[in-house]
Structure 1
Amino acid sequence: MKSIRCILSTLMLAATGLAQAEQAMAGIGVATCDVWLDARKTPQQDREVVIEGLMLAWVQGFLSSKNATGAKGRSVLDVPSPETIKRVIDKICGDNPDWKIYIVADTFATVLIDQYRGGGRK
């Protein structure tokens, strides 16, 4: 639980300079956090379950793609479990409902990369 608190506090500080990236983003990643929050409030409805699943998969894929940017055979971050990703998105989006999902994902990736490097992994 301590590591999630560390991630969440660092996330709030790391989300600068992404406005230029918006033109390069597509799909559900450009949706705002309020879409995520609405889907999480009523997950029993089919539409919300689909939206939540799409957004979770998009973030998980975004995080996974960061490993493709590393040197051959080297990861740059550990992709967390879907439940951990959901908790992080819940917290960030709860604090920043107007943020785009790609900003949440990129900020989260930055923190995970820093943690990975700090752990001495290669």
Structure 2
Amino acid sequence: MRKQAATRQSDVLNVLRTHGKPMSAYDILDKMKVAEPELAPPTVYRALSALTDQGRAHKLESIKAFVPCRCAHEASVPVLAICDACGAVEEHDGTPLLSQLDQISTQSAFNASRHIVEIHGQCRDCSTS
């Protein structure tokens, strides 16, 4: 039985929200295979691609993982603070950065299609431990 794309995206987003930490596509696939053993990787990749295009999930390029979007930032820049110790990700609204990033792109005649800022370090809990 084939699920509709919107339903599949919802399933993937629910797995991301439930897990609470960044997940690779294969981590998501493993969780979903419990209920659907026949599920194939392309199905998860298509859902993740659609979710990131819609801004409902973010791909953490530096660690090849995904997190659900937790902010409303249609014309903004998600700033994702990634804890290298525990893997927690905090999402911040980077609206003030957008004009500066656009200016940098314009200076080099670069046509940016999206902006994502990743900051690596330690979260408050890990830095005080």
Q: Which has the higher helix share?
A: 1
State the TM-score, normalizing by the size of structure 2. 0.27
Please say which structure displays the higher CA radius of gyration: 2
Q: Which has the higher strand share?
A: 2
State the TM-score, normalizing by the size of structure 1. 0.28
Compare relative contact order (CA 8 Å, sep 6+) and give the higher one, 1 or 2.
1
